[in-house]
Structure 1
Amino acid sequence: MYFVMETIEKLTKKLRSQGMKITPQRLMIFKVLENNTSHPSAENVYKRVKRIYPSVSFTTIYKTLETLRELGEVREFVIDGDRKHYDPNTNLHHHVICSSCKRILDVFEDFSPSVKLPDAVKKDYAVSGFQIFFHGICKECN
């Protein structure tokens, strides 16, 4: 089960409506993300786009990813210090992360019956969702 961000055509219209120019480099960013289950960092996206468009700047990559996040087209999370990773699957799901190689896999399981909030948290928050990150060593690294 995998859900991707908007089609490139719909995404292009959405970004144009936000006043963003659609350059060949930005289209390539969309293509890199489309159906991508590897949860790439901005650096990963930059390396892939730079192969085709050597003059692309890291700033273009980063700002485009931030805009996609703001528009709800990608989810962003940090797993290794301050490096952000991007997931074009914006449906609720969880992740398992290898502590050694840092590979990230999607987990499509509903844990809501198992997750219980402490009363102190329920008292102070109207929780609208949650995301679980499992950490361990994958079989390739073990």
Structure 2
Amino acid sequence: MLSSNELAKVLRDNGCKVTPQRLAVYEMLAHTKEHPTAEMIYDKVKDKYTTMSFATVYKSVEIFSKVGIVQVLNTGEESYRYDANVMEHPHIRCTKCGKVFDVPHIEAKQIEDMVSKQTGFDVNGHQFYFYGVCPKCQRKA
């Protein structure tokens, strides 16, 4: 995760404004493992920045994604989720409560090689999503 100074430098180097609201959005993302939606981020930061709009949050995460400091997750829901951990790693979503969790590292090189051989593509990235019922929801059942 980036420090505030590193974040400011990345934003400036990419021609983006550095605002307290953008710093707050990234700070929230950098210190959570929840993989929040833009709506969830807005709910967490709106009390501190009462003039911040949902559009500001959404535009911020779009910018962060474009400059490569946040990854966008499409886990099959209506909204995208965001992760400040930009290292390639799989995710798992609970089909009961909807929470998204990181999955410990899976060696993807063999899968990438297989896909490359089958398609002729030079594979340069991947995203894996798994689905199931989390332990907490299993205990509730």
Return the TM-score normalized by structure 2: 0.86
**Residues 64 and 120 (structure 1 numbering): CA distance in 2 closer, same or farther, change over 3 Å?**
same
The count of aligned residue pairs is 136
Q: Which runs of 5+ in 2 are unaligned?
A: none
Match in the other structure for 1:92: 88
Match in the other structure for 1:8: 4
**Residues 119 and 41 (structure 1 numbering): CA distance in 2 closer, same or farther, change over 3 Å?**
same
**Does the 8 Å contact 2:115/2:123 carry over to 1?**
no
Question: Distance in 2 between the 1:118 and 1:15 partners?
Answer: 34
Match in the other structure for 1:24: 20
Local SS of the residue matching 1:51: coil
**Does the 8 Å contact 2:116/2:123 carry over to 1?**
no
State the shift of 1:114 in Å. 5.2
State the shift of 1:61 in Å. 0.6
Q: Which runs of 5+ in 1 are unaligned?
A: none
**Residues 72 and 118 (structure 1 numbering): CA distance in 2 closer, same or farther, change over 3 Å?**
closer
Question: Distance in 1 between the 2:31 and 2:123 partners?
Answer: 29
Structure 1 window deviating more from structure 2 (69-78 vs 10-19): it is 10-19
Please identify runs of 4+ aligned residues in structure 1 that moved more than 3 A.
Answer: none
Greater strand fraction, Structure 1 or Structure 2: 1
State the shift of 1:63 in Å. 0.6
AA aligned opposite 1:136: G
Question: Distance in 1 between the 2:125 and 2:16 partners?
Answer: 31
Q: From 77, 83, 86, give the equivalent of 1:81.
A: 77
Cα RMSD (Å): 1.8
State the shift of 1:117 in Å. 2.4
Question: Distance in 2 between the 1:138 and 1:20 partners?
Answer: 39
AA aligned opposite 1:138: C
Return the TM-score normalized by structure 1: 0.86
Percent of aligned positions with the same letter in both sequences?
A: 32
